[in-house]
């Protein structure tokens, strides 16, 4: 069982570019020594704040758990602003404060054919999902990305799961083709389980297709968070009843029928 | 050197001056895994209204240099659910639980005060007349001395033996006049300050970063404003002042006490790390010993000016 709760200062073991082109595209693996975060359910996340943030930026940053072993916690980070830029410049021996695992993870059904739909950095939680799944042959991965494929942990996943397919979006014309691929796949898995993580428009497409084909699907939201523990109410999402639910504690993984996903977050 | 961190506030013993600020500590329970709630001087819970409130649309928060903007809009579970499901699970016998209350008009404020004052587990009422993120009530009360005074009076009448704190807004020309009016109206203490109104925009999307467009600025960026306001108010009124605004260390706590505050509230710093308030409470006596401060009462307001 996951040991959530205390803040822990974890030592950075390594910060490495993801693949030969990872640095150029801002994609990194950050590996932290794990002195007792316990285990996690894939899809759970941790809050990370290096001491060098000082008073600016004020917020820690949430990251889904890419891999958690008794020895190390691995994060897959894409530089997208001040916080991630600082994090990816840290060096081995630096420490960061971490709390977690937090939130609700993905459902894991060993005997159910499961389709993993990932967009960009949204591939991260599926590394843990595939690694902890008792029957990875039942897993099928469709991965949409913009940066070169080598910038993502795709190859290692493809080696583990039953099927894996990547689709690079280079031009605006690629989007309808990708959505067509998603349609085909979601229709195939209407009787199985679909788990998805990625940018909001991608998740909205997954939710729409899941509803259309009557598929059971979960999406992991990447809403902006201040605290990660339910204190700020900044990360909420509207549920099917029109009430706000907290992404940090009641999510980040939700069944699509629980939510009214909108453009804003 | 042993030090005394206890503080005298109206109607309640306080073991140390480190409290948490409303809206930044949930209902307290969310932070229980990160420290001992009983170690805090007090817990001010998320602003409560008579009926549950949905709050504002997303996005509701934005990060700014040394701070953040929020336009949560007082989302809360309503007073009934708080009293039934949350309060009994809080260590109210060991640590004062302060109910922050919000309403749309004076009658509703008074009704809410009546409900909360009947609860043994509620140590004091903090009247929010300074929220910038709601259309009705909120800051409208806090910008007019006459209204602030009348509201304090209306709440005090229904508060029974519970102390009434009034939380002041910095978004006024003269915070001292509001503070005086609130005390004249019956406020037992003042909380100083709420957030500053602010705004953040995205030049690419050409959109505001908050759905509400304008929000409340908090965090270390506002500490100098809060410190100034506390100092001015402490010069003008005899009621105890609880300082809040950008406090993120034991050093910050002493700064506010030096200018006259009786206690402080930790707000946005709770988001920096969820054990922040506990760490500050733990560090404070060590820092006092290092500085040769035996007790807070003798240190309070000892700022040397001129």
pLDDT tens digit string along A66-124?
999 999 999 999 999 999 999 999 999 999 999 999 999 999 999 999 999 999 999 99
- In a domain, residue B62? The reply is no
- Read off the pLDDT of each residue in B108-129 and give the average, rounded to a whole number: 96
Q: Which CATH superfamily is domain A7-102 in?
A: Translation factors (2.40.30.10)
Chain B residue set in contact with A, beta carbons under 8 Å: 23-26, 30-31, 33-34, 46, 54-55, 57-63, 65-68, 70, 72, 75, 211, 219-220, 248, 268, 270-275
Bond from prior residue into B18 cis (ω within 30 degrees of 0):
no
Bond from prior residue into B59 cis (ω within 30 degrees of 0):
yes
- In a domain, residue B212? The reply is no
Interface pTM, i.e. ipTM: 0.94
Could you tell me the pTM of the whole model? 0.95
Residue A18 CA to residue A251 CA, distance in Å, equals 27
The per-residue pLDDT for B176 is 97
Residue A77 CA to residue A65 CA, distance in Å, equals 10
Contacts of B57 in chain A (CB under 8 A): 264
pLDDT tens digit string along A166-189?
999 988 889 999 999 999 999 999
Tally the domains of chain B. Answer: 1
Report domain extents, chain A.
Answer: 7-102, 114-220
The per-residue pLDDT for B22 is 97
> Catalytic: B131?
yes
Q: Which of A54, A226, A242, A246 to mutate to test the interface with B (most CBs of B within 10 A)?
A: A226
Q: Which of A84, A80, A73 is nearest to A9 (CA)?
A: A73
Residue B241 is classified by DSSP as E
- Read off the pLDDT of each residue in B18-37 and give the average, rounded to a whole number: 97
pLDDT tens digit string along A176-225?
999 999 999 999 999 999 999 999 999 999 999 999 999 999 999 999 99
Q: What average pLDDT is seen over chain B?
A: 95
Q: For position B155, which CATH number holds?
A: 3.20.20.70
The upper half-sphere exposure of residue B34, i.e. CA atoms within 13 Å in the direction of its Cβ, equals 28
- Read off the pLDDT of each residue in A61-65 and give the average, rounded to a whole number: 97
Residue B275 is classified by DSSP as T
Q: Which of A239, A23, A38, A16 is nearest to A147 (CA)?
A: A23
Which residue's structure tokens are 């817990």? B43
Decide if A231 and B272 are in contact by the 8 Å CB cutoff. Answer: no
A114-220 in CATH: which number?
Answer: 3.40.50.80
CA angle A226, A232, A234 (to 5 degrees): 70
Question: Where is average pLDDT lowest: A132-146, B30-44, B134-148, B280-294?
Answer: B134-148
- In a domain, residue B306? The reply is no
Which parts of chain B are beta strand (E)?
7-9, 12-14, 18-20, 42-44, 61-64, 67-70, 97-101, 124-128, 164-168, 189-192, 196-199, 201-202, 207-208, 214-218, 241-244, 263-266
pLDDT tens digit string along B55-93?
999 999 999 999 999 999 999 999 999 999 999 999 999
Contacts of A227 in chain B (CB under 8 A): 270-271, 274
Give one DSSP letter per residue of A202-257, joined into a string.
Answer: HHHHHHHHHHHHT-EEEEE-----SSSSSSS--S-EEBTTS-EE-TTTT-BEEEGG
Residue A192 CA to residue A179 CA, distance in Å, equals 19
Domain enclosing residue B232, as ranges: 7-55+73-196+218-299
Residues forming a β-bridge with A166: A143
Burial B90-102 (b: 16+ CB within 10 A, else e): bbbeebbbbbbbb
């Amino acid at each position: 069982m996951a040991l959530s709760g205390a803040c822990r200062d974890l030592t950075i073991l390594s910060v490495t570019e993801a693949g030969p082109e990872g640095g150029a595209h801002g994609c990194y693996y950050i590996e932290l020594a794990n002195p007792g975060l316990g285990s996690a359910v894939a899809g759970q996340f941790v809050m990370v704040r290096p001491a060098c943030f000082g008073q600016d930026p004020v917020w820690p940053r949430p990251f889904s758990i890419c891999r958690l072993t008794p020895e190390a916690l691995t994060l897959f980070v894409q530089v997208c602003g001040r916080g991630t830029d600082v994090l990816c410049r840290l060096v081995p021996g630096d420490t960061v404060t971490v709390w977690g695992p937090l939130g609700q993870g993905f459902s894991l059904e060993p005997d159910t054919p499961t389709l993993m739909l990932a967009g960009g950095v949204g591939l991260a939680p599926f590394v843990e999902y595939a690694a902890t799944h008792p029957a990875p042959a039942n897993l099928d991965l469709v991965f949409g990305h913009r940066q070169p494929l080598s910038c993502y942990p795709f190859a290692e996943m493809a080696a583990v799961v039953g099927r894996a397919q990547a689709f690079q979006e280079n031009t605006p014309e690629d989007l309808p083709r990708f959505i067509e691929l998603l349609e085909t796949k979601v229709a195939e898995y209407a009787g199985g389980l679909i788990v998805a993580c990625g940018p909001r428009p991608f998740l909205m497409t997954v939710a729409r297709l899941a509803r259309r084909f009557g598929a059971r699907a979960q999406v992991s939201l990447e809403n902006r968070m201040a605290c990660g523990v339910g204190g700020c109410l900044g990360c909420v999402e509207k549920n099917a009843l029109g009430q706000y639910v907290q992404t940090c504690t009641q999510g980040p993984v939700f069944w699509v029928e629980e939510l009214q996903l909108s453009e804003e977050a | 050197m042993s030090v005394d961190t206890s503080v005298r506030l109206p109607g309640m013993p306080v073991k140390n001056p480190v409290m948490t600020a409303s809206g930044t500590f949930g209902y307290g329970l969310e932070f229980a895994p990160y420290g001992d709630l009983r170690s805090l001087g007090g817990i001010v819970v998320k602003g409560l209204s008579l009926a549950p409130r949905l709050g504002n649309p997303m996005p509701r928060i934005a990060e700014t240099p040394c701070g953040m903007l929020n336009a949560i809009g007082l989302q809360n579970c309503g007073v009934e659910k708080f009293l039934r499901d949350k309060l009994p699970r809080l260590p109210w016998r060991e640590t004062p639980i302060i109910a922050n209350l919000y309403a749309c008009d004076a009658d509703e404020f008074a009704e809410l005060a009546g409900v909360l004052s009947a609860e043994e587990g509620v140590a004091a009422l903090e009247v929010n007349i300074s929220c910038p993120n709601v259309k009705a009530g909120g800051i409208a009360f806090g910008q007019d001395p006459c209204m602030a005074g009348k509201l304090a009076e209306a709440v005090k009448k229904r508060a029974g033996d519970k102390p009434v704190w009034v939380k002041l807004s910095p978004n006024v020309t003269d915070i001292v006049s509001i503070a005086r009016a609130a005390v004249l109206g019956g406020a037992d203490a003042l909380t100083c300050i709420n957030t500053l109104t602010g705004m953040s925009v995205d030049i690419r999307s050409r959109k505001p970063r908050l759905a509400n467009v304008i929000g409340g600025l908090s965090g270390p960026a506002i500490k100098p404003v809060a410190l100034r306001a506390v100092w001015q108010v402490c010069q003008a009124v005899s009621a105890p002042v609880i300082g809040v605004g950008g406090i993120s260390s034991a050093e910050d706590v002493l700064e506010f006490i030096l200018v006259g505050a009786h206690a402080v509230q930790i707000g946005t710093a709770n988001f920096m790390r969820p054990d922040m308030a506990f760490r500050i409470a733990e560090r404070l006596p060590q820092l006092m010993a290092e500085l040769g401060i035996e007790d807070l009462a003798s240190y309070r307001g000892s700022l040397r000016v001129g």
